[in-house]
Structure formats: C-alpha cells, structure tokens
Amino acid sequence: MSESTKNSSMNSDLHHPSAETVDAALIKDYETLYRRSITDREGFWAEEASKLDWFQKWDKVLDDSKKPFFKWFSGGKINIIQNAIDRHLKTWRRNKLAIIWEGEPGDVKTFSYHALNREVSKFANVLKSMGVKKGEIVTIYMPQIPELMFAMLACAKIGAAHSVVYGGFSVEALAARIEDAKSRVVVTADGGWRRGKINDLKSIANDAIKRSPTVEVCICVRRTGHDVYMENDRDFWYHDLMGLPIANPNCPTEVMDSEDMLFILYTSGTTGKPKGLLHTHGGYAVYTSTTHRYVFDIKDEDRWWCAADPGWITGHSYMVYSPLINGATLMMYEGAPNHPYPNRWWQIVEKYGINILYTSPTAIRGLMRFGEAWPKRHDLSSLRLLGSVGEPINPEAWRWYHRVIGQERCPIMDTWWQTETGGFMVTPLPITPLKPGSATKPFFGIEIGVVDEHGKEVKRGEEGKLVIKSPWPGMARTIYGDADRYVETYWKEYEKQGWYKAGDSARIDEDGYLWVIGRIDDVIKVSGYRLGTAEIESALITHPAVSEAAAIGLPHEVKGNAIHAYVILRSKFTPGKELEEELKEQVVKEIGPIARPEAITFMDVLPKTRSGKIMRRVLKARAQGLNEGDISTLEE
Ligand code: WTA
C-alpha cells in the first residue's frame, strides 16, 4: 500500500503515514504518551530504564541537586556492554548477525553477536595487557572498519573511556584531542579506502603522536597493506596482538556506576579549542536505545543502516550503541557513496535487504545530482523507513528522498539533536503526519521552547532561540576537564529559568511543528559536519603569510554551507591564485579535507567591533548582498 498524501487546510504538503505503517508502529498515540512523559518524567524514564539489564537498580531516577550537573539513575550499576552484547548471548540472538560490513573495494565481513563478543573480549584483554585502566581515555583514530567498533566496545567493556577522532581529521586536530584527553594508548589503522585512494591514517597518527608526550602505545590495524612507519616498542600490529595468548576470548564486563564516563567526543564551539562532551554509561544507554526503538520502530527482523561515520555522535549513538542494545542487525560501509558509481548505496540496500536507512541531507543532495536512473536500477522495496540528520533538510531534497528512494511508501524521520544531547530531541515517529523540512515534535520527556533573549516565548511562526526546558537522560554531563565552560556555553544565558541553550534558531508553526533554521553561534555546518569558525581561523593564521583571518559559512547547494575565509596578509606577501590555493591546503593540513575553504578573499581590513571582535555577521551579509543590520558597534 502506498502512503497517502492528503491536503490539509493548515499546510498543503502534509504526508500522512499509510495504514500499514500505523499498524506496525510501536507507538500509536503520541499525544497521550507525551503528556504522561512530561507529567511523570521520572516514572516514564524509570519504565524505559527497566527494559535494560542493571547489575544493581538505581536509588534515584533524577538527581537535580547540583544543577546543571544532573545525574540520572544514580546508585545504579550497569555497563552498556552488558546491554549491547552480553545479554543477547543468553538468547537466540547469540547467532543473529550483529554487523554486516562491506569495504569500499567490495570485501565483506559479518559478525554474529557471538562473534562480536569474541572480538570485543579479545581486544579488551589486549587493552588490559597494555595497562589500560578503568577511567582512562583511549583515543581511536580509524577508518570505517569493524575493528573501530571492536575498539570502542572493548574500552567500554573494561571501564575505560574512548575518544573517537573522525578519520577525516588531520594532524593538528588529532594532536589537540590526544593532548586534551591525555591518552596513553592510541588505536589506529594503516589507512582506509576512500574513492579508490588510501587515506593514510598512520602517517597522520605518527605526526600527531610526535606532538603528544602522553602516548606510550599505538595499536595499528592493517587495512590497506601499504608501507607505514612503525616505531619500535611503541607501535604494535593489531593482528599480532590478537594472535597472542593475552587475547583471551573471555573477559568479564566491568561493573560501572550509572554516572561513570563512557566516552568523550570532541565537537566544535565558539572558541578554537574543541570541547570534549562527556557521556555516561547509564543515562546514555537508556536514552539512545529508547529513542532508536520508538522513532525507527526497530523490530528483530530489521536490517538497520545508519550511513554515518562512528567518528561523530550520530555514529556513536545510532550506528554502534543503540542498534546493538536493541539487538538489531546493523550495516556498516567503509567508503564513498558514489564509488565506483553513484549507485553504490542503492546496490547495498538491494544486496543486503536494508529496511531502514538513516543519513544526512548532504548525502541525499549529493546523490540526487546524479539523477533518478541510478536508484531506479535497484530493488529498494525492502526499505520501510528513512531518516535524516545533521542539518535542516530542504523540501526539495526531502521530496526526492521520499519519492525516489522511499517510493512514497517510507516516512522520513527528520531527527533534530546534537552531540550534547546524546540522542534525538525533536523528531517524528512513524505515525506522525510529516511536513517536508520540519523535525516535527519533541520526543517523550523533552520540553522545548523558541524564545527571545529574555526567555520570552516568541509568537507562533516567529524565529527565536531554541531552548530545552528540562533535563533528559542522554544529556552530556559536562565538558571534559572544563566544567566552567559547560555552564558558560549552555546554561548561563537562561540561568534564571534553568534552560539549556541549543545554539540553534528555529520557529514553531501553528500546528506546533518545529522548523530548525540553523546555528546562531560561530559554528558552521558543512555537509552536516560541525566546524568552528575559530578553528579555521587558527589554521589559517599558522601560515606565515597571514596576519588576520575570519571564516564564515555561506549557503551551498550540496553541502548546506560552505566555508568562505577572509584574510589580511602580512606586508611582504601579495595576494594571488597560488597563495589562495596554498592557504586552502594549509587548512586541510591542519584540520582536514572537510574544512577546506571554498573561497579565500584577500582584505585590507576586517569589520570589527570597537573592542576588536570580528563581525562575521557583517561579512556574511555583505557576501550575500543583504542588509548589514545593526552596525552601530562597528569600528570606524
Ligand atoms: C544541526 C548532529 C536541522 C543543528 C546530530 C544542531 C539539524 C547541530 C538537524 C548539531 C536536523 C542536526 N534539522 N538541523 N534534523 N540535526 N542539526 O553536534 O544545527 O554534529 O545544533 O550533532 O546540527 O550538530 P552535531
């Protein structure tokens, strides 16, 4: 049966779910359960938490005595691995596929829950033999290969925390993250495949480790097999270690406090220094598994594909942890969506019978460019639900995704959330009537508002700042090593009300649907990747020709936003095409290819406030030929 598209008096483009979708849905009445989740928040979350395995039950669901440092399920003893792996081994799921992995060159590996447990336990013992202790942070810098998941899960199993650094980041970004986490152990690979080329991770890791005095051990997976430099007594091959008797396949899962650190994940903010958001075992396990189960209606027979990278929060929450907690079969693909041809993803959907695909608007727009003929060559009838994340999805891309990929049968779950929130915050359920481009309504237990700078609710349909009005179990607990910055960044502006400031602008329409507009701080979403203007500016300033730099995001057809940089040169240097290229390369070298500026403009002066702050807003308005707004603070 195909989804019916009815006209509504409120909105001419409202997509109602089919009777089949509603029949299959876990939740059939959003409003009633939502009301209950707000009036009895703790009761709601206690019930969801009871669906997990606890070594010891919690004393208190929510402890808000030290706001904004909330605690969830305190007194409870748990380990996310007990839920993501161990408990499945006692059921028929032991022999169910946990992971289907395909490499870019076409090699395939699969792991049942039994096999996953073996690999994770062995590597957990390897980490222990390297002296890894509960509470220490292991940095993981890897391509999209199963060993990346094994490394994350092995850390969690023995109570160590992981800090996964996206494999597209470069030397400077990696070194800064290793330094902040004071990692003693780094897990990497010789490289990964991307569009037929090798992404030479080990060389980058070698350079980063040179700058990182804390690193004693580097474990390297052989993936691409090209020659790499291995330092004596510091570097070890993964396969060598996994072949030793120390890699025993039995390893007890460490009993953790609910509030113990599970991982830190660095993300960009207003200043140049990336912030490590800290997530914990208990609340994060409850929140990610609940959101995943209800929003994507996960069933045991499903094959779930979150086409993100584990190096970002989407990968952590919805590629690794929640699918495994929910006992799903997950798909992982190493390479580019258009390699060797633009049908690669559709081929994967057909080949493995994927039921749910969760990806970003940038990926959709990118694949849309190649035309409908590519997906049409494949049988996509296994798909039942689609998802979108990372940036606002423009209605044109939404409609293409819905019509061509979902064949007007699959509702699209447009999920709004952040590294800081751990999981979905505003999202449809499969039963929600959809409007292309709207993330619709808050998830259970979540109260949102769109307000002005005084905290006053703006009128329906008007733009304002998005805030979250009450705590939720998946929230980041702090910024690693910088609790003051955590308070300052998220909780200071609406301290009186006790609200969390999301950093996005948005509006709520007459039906109560949320429309996210974009970031209001100095964060740019490029292809859904989160970058800080300050990071890009610092990278530019490391070049000897640059005396000052400013970076802004401007709309881009595929990437959503593209980086435009403005630089003032030192006196001995002259502007030119060659220097422009060199500066772009400098940013790639320092941060990574995702941060490569689209254009660089040479300037004599930059618009600044009298106190010397660069007015990026003015640069942005000028570049787009828009009104510069209030420039009364602009320097002469
Ligand atoms: C943006 C990614 C509109 C938003 C999970 C947010 C979105 C930032 C959506 C967080 C969406 C994410 N619609 N905007 N469905 N999802 N965003 O930390 O600006 O990488 O603040 O987390 O992405 O980015 P982050």
What backbone phi and psi angles, to 5 degrees, belong to 317?
Answer: -80, -40
Is 417 a pocket residue for ligand 1 (Cβ < 6 Å)? yes
Distance, CA of 394 to CA of 374 (rounded, Å): 21
Q: Which residue has the CA at smallest separation from atom 4 of ligand 1? A: 391
Indicate which atom in ligand 1 lies nearest the CA of residue 418.
Answer: 22
Distance 307 CA to ligand 1 centre (A): 16
| pLDDT for the residue numbered 480 | 98
Contact 397, 346 (CB under 8 A): no
Q: CB count, 10 Å around CB of 242? A: 18
Distance, CA of 541 to CA of 573 (rounded, Å): 14
Is 313 a pocket residue for ligand 1 (Cβ < 6 Å)? yes
3-state helix, strand, coil in the chain (%, to 5): 30, 25, 45
What's the token pair of residue 401?
Answer: 């995704």
Q: Which residue has the CA at smallest separation from atom 6 of ligand 1? A: 418
- CA proximity to 70, closest of 504, 503, 502, 499: 499
| pLDDT for the residue numbered 631 | 74
Three-class SS of residue 385? Answer: strand
Distance, CA of 434 to CA of 219 (rounded, Å): 47
Alpha-carbon separation of residue 9 from 13, 464, 511 (angstroms): 10, 25, 11
- CA proximity to 552, closest of 533, 539, 568: 533
Indicate which atom in ligand 1 lies nearest the CA of residue 502.
Answer: 21
Distance, CA of 138 to CA of 133 (rounded, Å): 10
Give the ranges where 470-615 is alpha helix by DSSP (H): 483-486, 533-541, 577-590
Is 514 a pocket residue for ligand 1 (Cβ < 6 Å)? no
Q: Which residue has the CA at smallest separation from atom 24 of ligand 1? A: 418
Alpha-carbon separation of residue 434 from 231, 417, 428 (angstroms): 55, 18, 7
| pLDDT for the residue numbered 628 | 80
Distance, CA of 78 to CA of 632 (rounded, Å): 55
Q: Which residue has the CA at smallest separation from atom 8 of ligand 1? A: 418
| pLDDT for the residue numbered 636 | 55
What's the token pair of residue 209?
Answer: 């480790």
Distance, CA of 112 to CA of 152 (rounded, Å): 17
Is 427 a pocket residue for ligand 1 (Cβ < 6 Å)? no
| pLDDT for the residue numbered 54 | 98
Distance, CA of 137 to CA of 584 (rounded, Å): 32
Give the side-chain half-sphere CA count within 13 A for 184. Answer: 11
| pLDDT for the residue numbered 610 | 86
* pLDDT < 70 positions in the chain: 1-12, 636
Is 392 a pocket residue for ligand 1 (Cβ < 6 Å)? yes
Distance 447 CA to ligand 1 centre (A): 17
What's the token pair of residue 43?
Answer: 């009761």
Is 465 a pocket residue for ligand 1 (Cβ < 6 Å)? no
Q: Which residue has the CA at smallest separation from atom 7 of ligand 1? A: 391
What is the pTM (predicted TM-score) of this model? 0.95
Distance 531 CA to ligand 1 centre (A): 12
Contact 182, 156 (CB under 8 A): no
Distance 388 CA to ligand 1 centre (A): 10
Bridge-based pairing state of the strands 514-519 and 500-508: antiparallel
Q: What is the pLDDT of residues 288-329, one digit of tens each?
A: 999 999 999 999 999 999 999 999 999 999 999 999 999 999
Distance, CA of 517 to CA of 519 (rounded, Å): 7
Q: Which residue has the CA at smallest separation from atom 22 of ligand 1? A: 418
Alpha-carbon separation of residue 636 from 25, 568, 608 (angstroms): 61, 17, 9
Is 143 a pocket residue for ligand 1 (Cβ < 6 Å)? no
Distance, CA of 94 to CA of 551 (rounded, Å): 50
| pLDDT for the residue numbered 623 | 93
Is 309 a pocket residue for ligand 1 (Cβ < 6 Å)? no
Q: 75: left (phi > 0), else alpha (psi -120 to 50), else beta?
A: left
Is 415 a pocket residue for ligand 1 (Cβ < 6 Å)? yes
Is 530 a pocket residue for ligand 1 (Cβ < 6 Å)? yes
| pLDDT for the residue numbered 289 | 98
Is 419 a pocket residue for ligand 1 (Cβ < 6 Å)? yes
Q: Which residue has the CA at smallest separation from atom 14 of ligand 1? A: 391
Query: Concatenated DSSP letters for 573-596?
Result: ----HHHHHHHHHHHHHHT-GGG-
What backbone phi and psi angles, to 5 degrees, belong to 161?
Answer: -105, 155
Is 418 a pocket residue for ligand 1 (Cβ < 6 Å)? yes
